[in-house]
C-alpha cells in the first residue's frame, strides 16, 4: 500500500492547500436563489460532525499540506459554541489562514467571542443595502442586524473583511454601485459573486447571471475607472480590481463567465462528513464513517489523497454536459 501523500496534488498538477469546512447546513435566513422558503430538510444533529471530529479531520488535512481553513454553512453562526471550534482550529500548527463566511445576522452578538478565539478574516454575505429588497431576497427583515454585525466586526479589528454579494440579474442591479460605495467608505472589499447553478429549487439559468464584465461597466460609470490589481495570488478565486482614485477595490468570483478551475486549490468537507473535491462534484466520499468507525489517521490521509488525485478538471457549467450537483449550496458550503 503506497505511503499516504505529504501534499495533495491532483492529476492536473494542482496543489490543494485550502479546506472549506461546513459546520452546519442550517440557516437563519432563506435566500430565494438558495433554498425554498418552507419545508427545507436539514440534517439531524447526530448526522453532523462534532467539533472533535472536525478538528481531527482538519489536523489530518493540515498534515497533508493544507494551511488555509474556511468555516462555512448553511450559516455557521447558528452552530452553538462556534468559538470553541474556532479556538481548536486556530491552535492547529500549520494553519496560516483561518476565515469564516457568514450572513452576518448573528455577528454583532458573536464578533468579540470569535475574535478572541483567534478568527481574523470574515466574508459577510450581503446583496443589498435596501431594506425592502433584503426582505424580498432573504424573506427575513434582518438588514439592520447585518449592518450592526459589520460595525461590530470592524470595531473588533477583524481584517480583511469582505462582503460577498450574489449578483442575480433582474434583482440586484440597483445595489451594485451603492454596495461599492459602502465598501469604499469602510475599507471593505465588495466581492460580486456570479449566480451559480447550485440552488435547491433549480431556478438557475444563464439569463439570470449578472456577469463580472457587466458589473465592472456599471461601477466604472457609477463611481469611476477601475484597474486590475497586479500580481494577485493566481490560486485565489477572485479577480481583483481597485478604483483608480485609490479608494478601495472590488473582487469578482466569476465562476460562470471566467471559470478559475485551472488554479483550484480547494477541497470541502460537508457538515455531515462528506469529502468533496469540487463545489460542483457529482460524487463525494464518506469520511464520517471512518472518523466514527475506528479508522486510523493514516487511513484517512490515504483516502483524502485518493479523492484529490481523482479530481476532475473543473465544473462544466459552460458545456452541454453540465449536470447540477444533487446537493444544494446550503448543504455544501461556499
Which residue ranges make up the site for ligand SF4 (CB under 6 A)? 260-261, 264, 266, 278-280, 314-315
Tell me whether residue 183 or residue 305 sits nearer to ligand SF4 (CB atom).
Answer: 305
Tell me whether residue 210 or residue 264 sits nearer to ligand SF4 (CB atom).
Answer: 264
Work out how close the CB of 18 gets to ligand SF4 at its nearest, in angstroms, rounded to a whole number: 10
Q: How many CB atoms lie within 10 A of CB 145?
A: 18
Tell me whether residue 162 or residue 266 sits nearer to ligand SF4 (CB atom).
Answer: 266
Work out how close the CB of 311 gets to ligand SF4 at its nearest, in angstroms, rounded to a whole number: 7
Three cell numbers, residue 64? 497533508
Beta bridge partners of 252: 192, 239
Work out how close the CB of 279 gets to ligand SF4 at its nearest, in angstroms, rounded to a whole number: 4
Tell me whether residue 119 or residue 254 sits nearer to ligand SF4 (CB atom).
Answer: 254
Tell me whether residue 268 or residue 288 sits nearer to ligand SF4 (CB atom).
Answer: 268
Three cell numbers, residue 195? 449566480
Tell me whether residue 10 or residue 75 sits nearer to ligand SF4 (CB atom).
Answer: 10
Cα distances (angstroms) measured from residue 51 to each of 58, 179, 182, 187, 298: 10, 35, 36, 33, 20
Work out how close the CB of 193 gets to ligand SF4 at its nearest, in angstroms, rounded to a whole number: 12
Instruction: Specify whether the CB–CB gap between 269 and 281 falls below 8 A.
Output: no
| Burial degree of 102 (CB within 10 A; 0-12, 13-18, 19+) | buried
Tell me whether residue 129 or residue 313 sits nearer to ligand SF4 (CB atom).
Answer: 313
Q: How many CB atoms lie within 10 A of CB 143?
A: 21
Distance linking the first and last C-alpha atoms of the chain: 34
Q: Alpha carbon 256 to chain centroid distance?
A: 16
Work out how close the CB of 262 gets to ligand SF4 at its nearest, in angstroms, rounded to a whole number: 8
Cα distances (angstroms) measured from residue 96 to each of 15, 62, 89, 170, 290: 16, 10, 11, 39, 27
Cα distances (angstroms) measured from residue 287 to each of 25, 49, 252, 269, 270: 17, 10, 32, 9, 10
Work out how close the CB of 149 gets to ligand SF4 at its nearest, in angstroms, rounded to a whole number: 27
Work out how close the CB of 206 gets to ligand SF4 at its nearest, in angstroms, rounded to a whole number: 16
d(CA 46, CA 30) in angstroms, rounded, equals 24
Query: For 222, phi and psi rounded to 5 degrees?
Result: -85, -30
Residue whose C-alpha cell reads 457568514 in the numeric block: 102
Tell me whether residue 175 or residue 194 sits nearer to ligand SF4 (CB atom).
Answer: 194
Work out how close the CB of 139 gets to ligand SF4 at its nearest, in angstroms, rounded to a whole number: 27
Amino acid at each position: 500500500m503506497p505511503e499516504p501523500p505529504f501534499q495533495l496534488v491532483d492529476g492536473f498538477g494542482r496543489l490543494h492547500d485550502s479546506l472549506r469546512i461546513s459546520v452546519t447546513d442550517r440557516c437563519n435566513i432563506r435566500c430565494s436563489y438558495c433554498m425554498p422558503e418552507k419545508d427545507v430538510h436539514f440534517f439531524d444533529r447526530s448526522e453532523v460532525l462534532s467539533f472533535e471530529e472536525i478538528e481531527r479531520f482538519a489536523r489530518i488535512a493540515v498534515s497533508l499540506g493544507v494551511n488555509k481553513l474556511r468555516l462555512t454553512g448553511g450559516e455557521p453562526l447558528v452552530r452553538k459554541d462556534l468559538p470553541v471550534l474556532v479556538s481548536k482550529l486556530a491552535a492547529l500548527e500549520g494553519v496560516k489562514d483561518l476565515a469564516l463566511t457568514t450572513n452576518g445576522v448573528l455577528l454583532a452578538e458573536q464578533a468579540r467571542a470569535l475574535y478572541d478565539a483567534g478568527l481574523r478574516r470574515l466574508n459577510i454575505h450581503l446583496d443589498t443595502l435596501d431594506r425592502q429588497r433584503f426582505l424580498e431576497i432573504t424573506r427575513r427583515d434582518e438588514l439592520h442586524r447585518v449592518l450592526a454585525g459589520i460595525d461590530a466586526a470592524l470595531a473588533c479589528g477583524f481584517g480583511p473583511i469582505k462582503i460577498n454579494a450574489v449578483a442575480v440579474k433582474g434583482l440586484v442591479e440597483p445595489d451594485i454601485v451603492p454596495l461599492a460605495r459602502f465598501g469604499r467608505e469602510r475599507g471593505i472589499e465588495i466581492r460580486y459573486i456570479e449566480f451559480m447553478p447550485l440552488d435547491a429549487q433549480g431556478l438557475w439559468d444563464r439569463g439570470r447571471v449578472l456577469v463580472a464584465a457587466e458589473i465592472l461597466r456599471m461601477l466604472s460609470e457609477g463611481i469611476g475607472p477601475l484597474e486590475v490589481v497586479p500580481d494577485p495570488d493566481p490560486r485565489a478565486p477572485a479577480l481583483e480590481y481597485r478604483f483608480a482614485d485609490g479608494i478601495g477595490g472590488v473582487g469578482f468570483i466569476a465562476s460562470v463567465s471566467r471559470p478559475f478551475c485551472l488554479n483550484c486549490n480547494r477541497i470541502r468537507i460537508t457538515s455531515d462528513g462528506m469529502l468533496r473535491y469540487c463545489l460542483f462534484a457529482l460524487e463525494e466520499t464518506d469520511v464520517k464513517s471512518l472518523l466514527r468507525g475506528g479508522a486510523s489517521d493514516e487511513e484517512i490521509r490515504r483516502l483524502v489523497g485518493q479523492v484529490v488525485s481523482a479530481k476532475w478538471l473543473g465544473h462544466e457549467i459552460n458545456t452541454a454536459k453540465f449536470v447540477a450537483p444533487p446537493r444544494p449550496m446550503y448543504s455544501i458550503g461556499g
